Amino acid sequence: MHHSCSSLVLWGLAVVAFDFRIDRRGGIPAYVQIIQQVQQALRLGLLEPGDRLPTARAVVEATALNPNTVLKAYRELESQGLVETRRRHGTFVTGTLGASSADSPWHAELADVAARARASGLERDDLAALFADVLEDLYSSKEPDVVSPQP
Protein backbone atom coordinates (compact mmCIF):
# COMPACT_ATOMS: atom_id res chain seq x y z
CA MET A 1 0.00 0.00 0.00
CA HIS A 2 1.61 3.20 -1.11
CA HIS A 3 0.55 6.58 0.11
CA SER A 4 2.11 9.91 0.77
CA CYS A 5 1.19 12.18 3.57
CA SER A 6 2.32 15.62 4.56
CA SER A 7 0.79 18.24 6.75
CA LEU A 8 0.73 21.97 7.12
CA VAL A 9 -1.08 24.37 9.40
CA LEU A 10 -3.41 27.00 7.98
CA TRP A 11 -5.26 29.39 10.27
CA GLY A 12 -4.47 27.13 13.23
CA LEU A 13 -6.02 24.10 11.51
CA ALA A 14 -3.94 21.05 10.63
CA VAL A 15 -4.56 20.20 7.00
CA VAL A 16 -3.18 16.89 5.75
CA ALA A 17 -2.34 16.18 2.14
CA PHE A 18 -3.05 12.49 1.77
CA ASP A 19 -3.00 10.59 -1.51
CA PHE A 20 -5.06 7.43 -1.72
CA ARG A 21 -3.67 4.74 -4.02
CA ILE A 22 -6.43 2.55 -5.42
CA ASP A 23 -5.57 -0.81 -6.98
CA ARG A 24 -8.43 -1.62 -9.34
CA ARG A 25 -7.00 -5.05 -10.22
CA GLY A 26 -6.43 -6.41 -6.73
CA GLY A 27 -9.95 -7.58 -5.95
CA ILE A 28 -10.24 -5.45 -2.80
CA PRO A 29 -13.16 -3.01 -3.01
CA ALA A 30 -12.04 0.61 -3.36
CA TYR A 31 -13.85 1.74 -0.22
CA VAL A 32 -12.03 -0.96 1.78
CA GLN A 33 -8.70 0.23 0.35
CA ILE A 34 -9.48 3.78 1.53
CA ILE A 35 -10.34 2.49 5.00
CA GLN A 36 -7.18 0.38 5.16
CA GLN A 37 -4.98 3.27 4.03
CA VAL A 38 -6.41 5.62 6.66
CA GLN A 39 -5.96 2.93 9.32
CA GLN A 40 -2.36 2.35 8.21
CA ALA A 41 -1.62 6.09 8.29
CA LEU A 42 -3.01 6.20 11.83
CA ARG A 43 -0.84 3.26 12.89
CA LEU A 44 2.25 4.91 11.43
CA GLY A 45 1.47 8.28 12.97
CA LEU A 46 1.05 9.94 9.58
CA LEU A 47 -2.46 10.95 10.59
CA GLU A 48 -3.29 12.19 14.07
CA PRO A 49 -6.41 13.42 15.85
CA GLY A 50 -7.33 16.84 14.52
CA ASP A 51 -5.98 16.21 11.02
CA ARG A 52 -8.44 16.82 8.21
CA LEU A 53 -8.89 14.15 5.55
CA PRO A 54 -9.24 15.20 1.92
CA THR A 55 -12.77 16.09 0.93
CA ALA A 56 -14.76 13.39 -0.81
CA ARG A 57 -14.76 15.60 -3.90
CA ALA A 58 -10.95 15.83 -3.86
CA VAL A 59 -10.65 12.05 -3.54
CA VAL A 60 -13.11 11.56 -6.41
CA GLU A 61 -11.16 13.99 -8.60
CA ALA A 62 -7.83 12.33 -7.79
CA THR A 63 -8.98 8.71 -8.13
CA ALA A 64 -12.00 8.84 -10.49
CA LEU A 65 -13.99 6.83 -7.95
CA ASN A 66 -17.73 7.12 -7.57
CA PRO A 67 -18.54 9.70 -4.85
CA ASN A 68 -20.69 7.12 -3.05
CA THR A 69 -17.66 4.84 -2.75
CA VAL A 70 -15.64 7.52 -0.98
CA LEU A 71 -18.58 8.49 1.23
CA LYS A 72 -19.10 4.83 2.16
CA ALA A 73 -15.46 4.59 3.29
CA TYR A 74 -15.71 7.80 5.31
CA ARG A 75 -18.98 6.62 6.94
CA GLU A 76 -17.34 3.31 7.89
CA LEU A 77 -14.33 5.14 9.36
CA GLU A 78 -16.78 7.28 11.32
CA SER A 79 -18.61 4.19 12.62
CA GLN A 80 -15.23 2.85 13.78
CA GLY A 81 -14.73 6.05 15.78
CA LEU A 82 -11.69 7.08 13.76
CA VAL A 83 -13.08 10.18 12.03
CA GLU A 84 -15.86 12.70 12.45
CA THR A 85 -17.58 14.58 9.65
CA ARG A 86 -18.41 18.18 10.46
CA ARG A 87 -20.90 19.65 8.04
CA ARG A 88 -19.31 22.27 5.78
CA HIS A 89 -15.94 21.84 7.52
CA GLY A 90 -14.80 18.40 6.42
CA THR A 91 -13.85 15.05 7.87
CA PHE A 92 -11.43 15.07 10.78
CA VAL A 93 -9.43 12.35 12.49
CA THR A 94 -10.75 11.78 16.01
CA GLY A 95 -9.36 8.37 16.92
CA THR A 96 -6.06 6.58 16.93
CA LEU A 97 -4.84 3.06 16.37
CA GLY A 98 -1.97 1.41 18.20
CA ALA A 99 1.19 2.69 16.64
CA SER A 100 4.02 0.29 15.99
CA SER A 101 7.11 1.54 17.74
CA ALA A 102 10.23 2.02 15.65
CA ASP A 103 12.29 0.49 18.45
CA SER A 104 10.11 -2.62 18.67
CA PRO A 105 11.92 -5.92 18.06
CA TRP A 106 9.25 -6.67 15.44
CA HIS A 107 10.10 -3.46 13.59
CA ALA A 108 13.79 -4.33 13.55
CA GLU A 109 13.13 -7.88 12.37
CA LEU A 110 10.77 -6.77 9.60
CA ALA A 111 13.22 -4.06 8.55
CA ASP A 112 15.93 -6.72 8.26
CA VAL A 113 13.70 -8.97 6.13
CA ALA A 114 12.73 -6.03 3.91
CA ALA A 115 16.37 -5.00 3.48
CA ARG A 116 17.38 -8.54 2.47
CA ALA A 117 14.47 -8.75 0.03
CA ARG A 118 15.43 -5.42 -1.53
CA ALA A 119 19.09 -6.46 -1.76
CA SER A 120 18.02 -9.62 -3.58
CA GLY A 121 16.22 -7.50 -6.18
CA LEU A 122 12.64 -7.79 -4.96
CA GLU A 123 10.61 -4.68 -5.79
CA ARG A 124 8.61 -2.86 -3.10
CA ASP A 125 5.20 -3.82 -4.55
CA ASP A 126 6.27 -7.46 -4.91
CA LEU A 127 7.41 -7.58 -1.29
CA ALA A 128 4.18 -5.92 -0.14
CA ALA A 129 2.13 -8.47 -2.12
CA LEU A 130 4.19 -11.35 -0.73
CA PHE A 131 3.82 -10.09 2.83
CA ALA A 132 0.06 -9.56 2.34
CA ASP A 133 -0.19 -13.15 1.09
CA VAL A 134 1.70 -14.45 4.13
CA LEU A 135 -0.54 -12.45 6.45
CA GLU A 136 -3.66 -13.73 4.70
CA ASP A 137 -2.47 -17.33 5.09
CA LEU A 138 -1.53 -16.80 8.72
CA TYR A 139 -4.63 -14.95 9.84
CA SER A 140 -7.11 -17.04 7.87
CA SER A 141 -6.11 -20.19 9.76
CA LYS A 142 -7.99 -21.06 12.94
CA GLU A 143 -4.94 -21.82 15.06
CA PRO A 144 -2.51 -18.92 15.53
CA ASP A 145 1.18 -19.70 15.21
CA VAL A 146 3.12 -18.28 18.12
CA VAL A 147 6.45 -16.84 17.09
CA SER A 148 8.63 -14.49 19.10
CA PRO A 149 11.02 -12.03 17.50
CA GLN A 150 14.71 -12.61 17.99
CA PRO A 151 16.18 -10.30 20.65
Render pLDDT for 58-76 as a digit per residue (tens, 0 to 9). Answer: 999 989 999 999 999 999 9
Q: What is the pLDDT of residue 5?
A: 38
Answer for the pair 151, 104: CB distance below 8 angstroms, yes or no. no
pLDDT of residue 102: 61
Can you give the pTM of this predicted structure? 0.59
| Confidence at 143, pLDDT banded by 50, 70, 90 | low
Domain coordinates of the chain in residue numbers? 4-93, 100-151
Mean pLDDT, residues 99-108 taken together: 64
Q: Which of 137, 139, 119, 117 is nearest to 128 (CA)?
A: 117
Query: Who's near 138: CB < 8 A, 6+ residues apart?
Result: 144, 145
Return the CATH class of domain 4-93: mainly alpha
User: Does residue 2 register a pLDDT over 50?
Assistant: no
Identify the H or E element spanning 86.
Answer: strand 83-86
**First CA to last CA across the chain, in angstroms?**
28
